[in-house]
Amino acid sequence: MATRRVEKVARAIRAAVSEAIQQRLSDPRIQGLISVTRVEPTPDLRSARVYLSMLGVEEKQQELSLAGIRHAHGYIQSYLAEQLTTKVCPALHFELDASFKKGLAISRILDELAAERDRREANLSEETETDDEGQQ
C-alpha cells in the first residue's frame, strides 16, 4: 500500500516526465503518441519505474522510441530534479507498458466473440423462420 507521500511524488514524476518527453525531447527516434501510463516509485523514493504506452507506431518503432527515451535519461532525470521539491530525486527506469496492448487484444477478442454471437443468433432466426414457413 503506497503512502500519500509516495502517491503524490508518483503524480509529480508522471507530470514532469510527460512534459519532458512531449515538449522537450527532439530525438528523431521518438515517434508516435507517447503517454506515461503509470509511475511506481519505491517506498524510499530512491527509484521509480516509469511505464510508457506508445500509439500509432509498430512494435519495432516502439523499441526505437524507448531507446531514444532511455538515451535522454540524463536530461529527463535532471529536468525531474528541477521540478521535484524532494531531497532525493528518484532514479528513473523506463519500460513499455504491456497492459495497454493486452487490453486492446482482449477488446479485439471480445468484439470477435460478439460478432460470432450475432451471426449465430441471425442463423437461428433464419432457421426458425424457415421452420415456421414449412409448417404452414
Cβ–Cβ under 8 Å, residues 96 and 60: no
| Burial track 10-26 (b if 16+ CB lie within 10 A, e otherwise) | bebbbebbbebbeeebe
48-61 confidence digits (pLDDT tens): 999 999 988 888 99
Q: How far is CA 53 from CA 1, 27, 75, 96, in A?
A: 24, 17, 20, 6
112-135 confidence digits (pLDDT tens): 999 999 888 888 877 777 666 656
pLDDT at 56: 81
Residues 113 and 60 in one domain: no
Residues 102 and 35 in one domain: no
Nearest-CA neighbor of 94 among 50, 45, 41, 28? 50
Radius of gyration of the chain (CA): 24
Instruction: Quote the number of domains for the chain.
Output: 2
Residues 62 and 115 in one domain: no
Residues 12 and 24 in one domain: yes
The DSSP secondary structure of 38-79, one letter per residue, reads EEEE-TTSSEEEEEEEEESS-HHHHHHHHHHHHHTHHHHHHH
Residues 37 and 89 in one domain: yes
**pTM, entire model:** 0.75
64-111 confidence digits (pLDDT tens): 999 999 999 999 999 999 999 888 899 999 999 987 677 777 888 999
19-45 confidence digits (pLDDT tens): 999 999 999 999 989 999 999 999 999
pLDDT at 64: 94
pLDDT at 104: 74
Q: Which domain holds residue 122?
A: 98-136
Residues 90 and 123 in one domain: no
